[in-house]
Chains A and B, each alone.
Chain A
Amino acid sequence: MGFTKINGKMVEAQVVPGQRLFSQRGAMLAYSGDVRFTPNITGGQGGVMSMIGRRVANEDTPLMTVEGQGRVMFGHGGHHVHVIDLFGDTLYVEADRLLAFEGTLRQSTMFMGSQGGVMGMVRGQVTGQGLFTTKLEGQGSVAVMAHGGVFELPIVPGQSVHVDPQAYVAHRGDVRNKLSTALGWRDMIGRGSGEAFQLELSGQGAVYVQASEEKL
């Protein structure tokens, strides 16, 4: 089970009866076997209330359910794809970066403003993430998209990692993130370094960073 990487921009998944996958709509490239694609109006798991939550939180990416027996290839928009395996831990990722994930994972929406108060809201604005993010937890695989290749930076206690907000893709584990600013008078007159805002991640886990500052 899980996703097999075919090349940097394409993953393949085995679909077996009784286990379903969720994928972004339109992300299927090809399939063989008897596989059905059902549009998922609620946009994921958890029923209508979760759907409303996602709509309000602007984390409602159109998803479809993939069921049946066979193999399916996924890819989207020429973006690089990175497969993350979860073993009971939690992944935080923007919904529009989700290419596909296994149905064994629990999906929920999380209010990011609770981390860092007012600064958390500013962070949401700066990174373009908004105030909410999608949380996946449990056991299974996730394929996330990024512009440019993805690399993983471990976060260990006492050693925080600073990431450009635009290059941030996802993070996992027990991580607190806050926006650190290095604003000075230069930024006020438009002569800043362009790196005035950084995401500071601390705790225990890992952060995934894309080699590009372009949003999806």
Chain B
Amino acid sequence: MSYPPQPPYGSPHNQPTQPGFAVPPGAVPPGYGPQQGGYPPPPPGGYPPPPQQPYVQQPPPPPQQQPYAQEQFGGPVAPLPTGHGGTGPVVWDAHSLPAGDNVNPYAFSVDLNGSYFLQKGKMVAYYGDITFKGVGAGAIDRMLGQHFNSPMHAADWVVAEGRGKLLLADRSFDLNSYDLDEGNLTVRSGNLLAFDPTLRLKQSIIPGFLTLIGTGRFVAASNGPVHFVEPPIRVDPQALVGWADCPAPCHHYDHDYMHGLIGGLRRLTGFGGASGEEHQFEFIGAGQVLLQSSEKLLAERSVGAVGAEAGVPMGGVPSQPSTAGHGGGNPNIPGLGNLGDLGRRFGL
């Protein structure tokens, strides 16, 4: 992250009273916090012996647990534990948690110093002194005016402020962070978890998508690892996570698939192949397209209403209908009501 370097966080020697930790001593969770180094004193005879024998093959514990990290593992500069070494559970603490990186494929740790935007309900845990405020509350409004150019979404977002480590996760979907450098990236609204306040969030013209512009880092979820492809490519609507720099995302309908009487019947009745493969999103030009490796979608976030205004797509539609399933809003779902429309389209 591009944050200015901070004094070691929570370290008892250097900074006995950190400004961010104005918490009464009793309220600090055990095992964390500046009052006493390392773990709390074990209850008399209570804990099993500390990880000496049974966890030999484990990655060494965090470097800052002075008393016994040094004697047992030979120095304060031990490598950070690996997230998924397969050798048993890894114990993380406020110091060893990665800063601005994945803890494992499903959890992301943010080294918070200042403020961060995150979608409601994506925080799973945090260390430190962090407050969460709904967007639109008080002093935040000023910052909001600069970076949150999407007032329709305000209700879905909270601002995390303070110092500490913030853990994000979303229903065990894979998380990835993306660095933008004076760039733009458009992402499905349900997939965006959090972003640096240095980025500006805007609502895409394409309904159901949000665009991030600027320099900074954001965190997005996907079902399975994200795969980057270069245009020209056609993408199944459900597999699309987002795109960067692509100038022309558009719908592509496979004419062969829906051609003539059989195709019309297919489309109308769903019998014999309303598979969804007749409709894709097409990308051309320079850029990157982000694919998720399955067709399972995250719950669509309501992207709010666009003011009813001439020339605005979906203007005045209160929210994304959940049946549409993807951003395009499938214009005709098979059903008898579409007969007239079909006839017009395919010359039935």
Task: List residues of chain A with CB under 8 Å of any chain B CB.
Answer: 6-10, 25-32, 36-39, 41, 62, 64, 73, 75-79
Contact = CB atoms under 8 A, between A and B. Distances in A.
B78 interface: no
Contact of A64 (B229, B232, B273, B280): B273
A185 B294 CA distance: 44
Contacts of A62: 273, 275
A173 to B, nearest CB: 30
A31 B256 contact: no
A36 B256 CA distance: 8
B241 to A, nearest CB: 11
A29 B256 contact: no
Given A8-B225, A36-B256, A29 B275 contact: no
B254 A29 contact: no
A32 B232 CA distance: 6
A29 B273 contact: no
Interface residues of B, number: 28
Contact of A7 (B225, B235, B239): B225
Which of the listed residues A9, A28, A30, A37 has the most CB atoms from chain B within 10 Å of its own CB?
Answer: A30
B60 interface: no
Closest 4 CB pairs of A and B: A39-B273, A10-B293, A25-B275, A78-B294
B236 A30 contact: yes
B245 to A, nearest CB: 17
Contacts of A30: 229, 233-236, 239, 280, 289, 291
B234 A39 contact: no
Interface string B251-294: 00010110000000010000011011110100000000101011
B236 A29 contact: yes
A149 B235 CA distance: 25
A42 B45 CA distance: 70
Nearest to A41: B272
Contact of B239 (A25, A36, A41, A75): A75
B295 A75 contact: yes
A73 B227 contact: yes
B224 A10 contact: yes
Given A36-B254, A75-B294, A76-B295, A28 B277 contact: yes
B142 interface: no
Nearest to A78: B294
B348 to A, nearest CB: 18
A185 to B, nearest CB: 38
Contact of A9 (B232, B278, B293): B293
Contacts of B257: 37-39
B296 interface: yes
A76 B224 CA distance: 11
B159 to A, nearest CB: 31
B275 A37 contact: yes
A136 to B, nearest CB: 21
Nearest to B232: A32
Given A9-B224, A29-B236, A31-B234, A75 B293 contact: yes
B73 to A, nearest CB: 32
B119 interface: no
Given A8-B225, A30-B233, A75-B224, A41 B273 contact: yes
B232 A79 contact: no
Contacts of A39: 257, 266, 272-273, 275
10 contacts: A9-B223, A29-B236, A30-B235, A30-B236, A30-B280, A32-B229, A32-B232, A32-B234, A38-B257, A73-B227
A26 B225 contact: no
A7 B224 contact: yes
A9 B225 contact: yes
Contacts of A38: 256-257
Contacts of B225: 7-10
A9 B272 contact: no
Nearest to A27: B295
Interface string B229-248: 10011111001000000000
Nearest to A40: B273
Contacts of B256: 36, 38
Contacts of B294: 9-10, 29, 75-79
Contacts of A76: 294-295
Contacts of A10: 224-225, 227, 291, 293-294
Contacts of B289: 30
Which of the listed residues B239, B254, B289 has the most CB atoms from chain A within 10 Å of its own CB?
Answer: B239
Interface in B194-245: 223-225, 227, 229, 232-236, 239
Given A39-B266, A79-B294, 5 more contacts: A10-B224, A26-B277, A73-B239, A75-B294, A75-B295
Interface string B70-100: 0000000000000000000000000000000
A78 B295 CA distance: 7
